[in-house]
A = this chain, B = another copy of it.
Amino acid sequence: MGGSLAMALDGKCHRRIGIARSQETCLTAMAGHVVDHATTNLREGTEGADIVVLATPVRTILSMLGEIGPYLRPGTLVTDLGSTKGDIVDAMNRLPDQILAVGGHPMCGKEKGGLGEADAQMFEGATYVLTPTRHTTESAMSLATDMVHASGARVLILDAQRHDSAAAHVSHMPYLVASALMHSAAGAGARDHVVGALAASGFRDTTRLASSDVPMMLDILLTNRQAVEEALTLMEKSLAGAKLLLGDPDALEEWMRAAQCWRTEIFT
């Protein structure tokens, strides 16, 4: 995701500096012109930056926010691409006073991460949530907005709690449902191997998110536990409702048509 953003910002900013854990990733990123320069040194990479974008799993963002403050010059804007915002905004609120900060979450991505999957077009037309913090001045929000627009995405300003609750329903829950479906099918498949042989495109797409990066998703679930539990409870009720309707064809049909209709509303 960080690589995709860097590519989307090519020619839209003065200089893109990448920071990675391994020298190999730095070399790959520079060779592919994903960034203009790359380093494994956090201090060197952030020194003199106007904007610092933290693009790692959420709990790594949290620890970097605790570490990065002293490296930054006053007026630097810190933002991130983390999928949950509550804990991140709390950590941003604890940054030194002279630092600017806006939380960020682009509502796009692939189930596979890494530089090889980086895609300059990923942000085109996507919704990109910006979340105010104690360090969000008008000019900080304006700079963050400029960056989002330069990437091709649309800004949606949301406070952290509202973002996390909504994301639990349309992002974290689909991941859990996909993984739970894999567990169910694997359980049934252990009793009869033919279960796997019958899995086709419908099963493949419904479970796509179960192939998501585990460290990334684990951090999301652990930093949004309450909202995820609430969304799970709602999902359990939906499934229990469906089970009851199996004995009532007319009501079942109505339930099916409502789901079909809502999906058309959202995706057209």
Contact = CB atoms under 8 A, between A and B. Distances in A.
A228 interface: yes
A258 interface: yes
A120 interface: no
A178 interface: yes
B235 A242 contact: no
A253 B259 CA distance: 31
B171 A202 contact: yes
B200 A170 contact: yes
A217 B256 contact: yes
Interface string A65-77: 0000000000000
A246 B231 CA distance: 13
A20 interface: no
A257 interface: yes
A150 interface: no
Q: How many copies of this chain sit in the oligomeric assembly?
A: 2
Contacts of A206: 174, 177-178, 205-206, 208-209
A243 B229 contact: yes
Interface of A: 107-109, 111, 126-127, 129, 156, 158, 162-163, 165-167, 169-171, 173-189, 192, 194-212, 214, 217-218, 221-222, 225, 228-229, 231-243, 246-247, 249, 252-253, 255-260, 262-267
A258 B183 contact: yes
B243 A200 contact: no
14 contacts: A109-B202, A166-B198, A169-B189, A170-B198, A170-B199, A170-B203, A171-B200, A174-B181, A180-B259, A186-B259, A186-B262, A196-B266, A205-B206, A210-B260
Nearest to A239: B180
A213 to B, nearest CB: 9
A233 B16 CA distance: 51
A54 B188 CA distance: 30
Given A175-B202, A204-B267, 17 more contacts: A109-B202, A111-B202, A166-B194, A173-B181, A177-B206, A178-B259, A182-B258, A182-B260, A184-B231, A184-B234, A188-B231, A202-B208, A203-B266, A210-B259, A211-B264, A233-B243, A236-B236
